[in-house]
Structure 1
Amino acid sequence: MRKSYTIIFALVVLLFTAMGVDALESKAIERNNGAYAFADWAETNGDVTTCTYLSVTETDDGTDIYVSMWEYNGMTGESYDAYGYMFTEDDIFSIDKKLDSASLSAVDIGVEKWFLDYNTGEYVYETGTVTVEADWTGIGDISRGSSRYVSRDGDYVFRSTDNSLSREATVTGLIDGNDPGTQSFASMSRFKTAYMSMEK
């Protein structure tokens, strides 16, 4: 009989301990796996210099694409800036696990443009669409990177970890069917991130 009381008491202690932990502690964990590729191009034709940037980020949620273009005419002083972004869940981006290659299928992206009118000295705003596509080929060795971060504020704790593989690349791309110029730099990477927040 005494042994039975001892077991019951132990179970009660465990129950209240578990209830106390649930009442005092909340924890959230988020993990993300993804891939990233980007490219810079620059081109000079006479007095006109054009710079183009493209980045693609793929996660479990979908794919983010960002493109920007800048052009300046050294003779007339005219210039324009264009920026475009889109998110899609369509399967338009693929990347090799060993970072040997990556490919972005042709996709239409809405852009906002600002033109500097040389005659008035004022910027003119326009909207439009550009068609973007690109192929990356890995060169050189794969680099590994990792980082960890911890932050505490009273009973609140936040931790994050990031592990990545990256590789320099050559890239061929088309903007509205045109070659954007000479490649400045291009790279591919795969990453794994984890975030944990806990409050007691």
Structure 2
Amino acid sequence: MEFKLSKYIILSDTFQEKKDLHEFKIIYSCRKKMGIKIHSGLEQFLLKEQFKALPDNIFSMLMHYEIIIPKEENEALFLYNFNSILHSTNEFLENENAEPYNQNLDLNTSLDQEKIKLKQLIQQGQMQDFLENNDQMSLLFIDTEKNISIIPLDRPYSSLKNESYINIINNNNNTNTYLLPINYLKQNQLNETVLEKFIDNLKLKLLLKYKINTRND
């Protein structure tokens, strides 16, 4: 069987731990909402999909976390269909305690403020987990004209939306695509700049989640 690297991963910045001279990264699987620490030298093998160069235990772990997946898999369609089946066979409950969406919230400014706070926590050696396993995930597609389409995965679908969403997936096979915990209602505030800030903050949250005490300036 042939394999490929999942599109839906996030690599943290390189870091060192205490007196350890080795450099590491956290590779985070957006599909599993979990991450593992790897030697930074393994990054080149992953990005070039030279999986045979990986130690067997690392390869198995990356398969388990769905960081490496079967080559023939259409990832977006697989994830969409999988979540559709889950929602059609299980009762889906909205979180009644969730804060109502504030249409006046400036997401761009909010992300800037969040980044300052995250860096402060890292520099102070804090250990906090801002990545919840129950975060609502969405597929995002950026077309050649920089338009962003978003498909929420953690909610039920109408038949009309189902057909529309599948068309988006099929029409965006070769575009930039992400799997991120972004609320569907924030779509009108999304652009490439905001998305880059969101991912940068997510990388900082990885360092905090996996208890990495390092200066990240």
Q: Give the TM-score of the pair, scaled to structure 2.
A: 0.24
**Structure with the bigger percentage of strand:** 1
Q: Give the TM-score of the pair, scaled to structure 1.
A: 0.26
**Structure with the bigger percentage of helix:** 2
